[in-house]
Amino acid sequence: MTDSTWHGGAAAVVTLTFDVDAETPILAAGRRYADHLMTMSHQAYGPDVGVPRILELLAELGVPATFFVPGWVAEHRPGLAATIVERGHEVAHHSYSHRAPTSLGAAEERADFERALAVFDAQGIEIRGHRAALWEATRVTLDLIAEHGLAYDSSLMGDDRPYRLEVDGGTFVELPVHWSLDDWEQYAYLPSPQIGSVIESPRKVLEMWRAELDAMRQYRCLFNLCMHPFLTGRPSRLVALRELIEYAQSCGDVAFARCRDLAESAAADPTLLPRIPPTVTPDPGTYPD
């Protein structure tokens, strides 16, 4: 990777990403949960309390971020996306309803994808990137990204550096994710619908993420951190995030970028040759449905 340019000379690049899901992942599990007021208030904490708190932290530390927002959330909180953009950050596509693409037919997925784009277009929000709900992208997902001319996706796990994906409709950049850099596995808990079982200490999470960043600095990787404002927006967790950012800044060889800006750098990197999406054709006799 010595001739690559996507990293701009940094030992590692950090993308701070926030999935502003609000009520959508719970409603996707069943609209009956709309009457569960504890659950709905737990989710509303994200955009109503967590996002403003996160925006203040980012401003204090002078780092950019990308906020993946479902269209339903932007529609029901019409000033939210504009506020994020006005603070210098990026708003990106995170479906309309937060239903996993793997649970939808092709026509349903297209309708959901394009409904979100229509919401952002009506609000004057330019969309350059996408992240699938639950990271459960399908081949239809990738085709829609290319068809609508988006610059990047951030749903797959085929590398720990940016790479380019080639589908029939064109080529775009993949900014890969991983469960180890997601606060959901650390902090998420709800009794109904049942989500998680153990709420980890922010001290443990900070230690784990610092260790990953240090290793990624050795291998010149993308530290693509996925967080949720209703989780990381809680006080002790936000303090841990502050410590992580300050540690990265103190290293002197770590860069911070919005996903759209990193995707632009990656698209211009001649060493990132296009790959095709994973193609697996299982034998039905061996692997029945």
Res. 1 pLDDT band, cuts 50 70 90: very low
The predicted-structure confidence for 24-64, as pLDDT tens digits, reads as follows 999 999 999 999 999 999 999 999 999 999 999 999 999 99
Inform me whether the pLDDT recorded for 2 exceeds 70. Answer: no
| Average pLDDT score, the chain | 97
d(CA 230, CA 244): 19
CA-wise closest residue to 183 among 12, 54, 76: 54
Closest to 265 measured CA to CA, from 151, 179, 186: 151
* H helical segments located in 96-252: 106-122, 139-147, 184-187, 202-219, 229-232, 235-251
Phi, psi of 153 (to 5 degrees): -125, 155
24-44: burial string, b at 16+ Cβ within 10 Å, e else: bbbbbbeeebeebeebbebbb
Q: What are the tens digits of pLDDT across the range 148-158?
A: 999 999 999 99
d(CA 115, CA 219): 39
The predicted model gives 90-105 an average pLDDT of 98
The Cβ-side half-sphere exposure at 257, using a 13 Å CA radius, reads 22
Q: How far apart are CA 126 and CA 141, in angstroms?
A: 19
Instruction: Please name the helix (run of DSSP H) or strand (run of DSSP E) that holds residue 83, with its range, or none.
Output: helix 80-86
Number of residues that this document lists for the chain? 289
| Cα torsion angle, 6, 9, 12, 15, sign | negative
* β-bridge partners, 256: 14
Topology given in CATH for the domain delimited by 12-274: TIM Barrel (3.20.20)
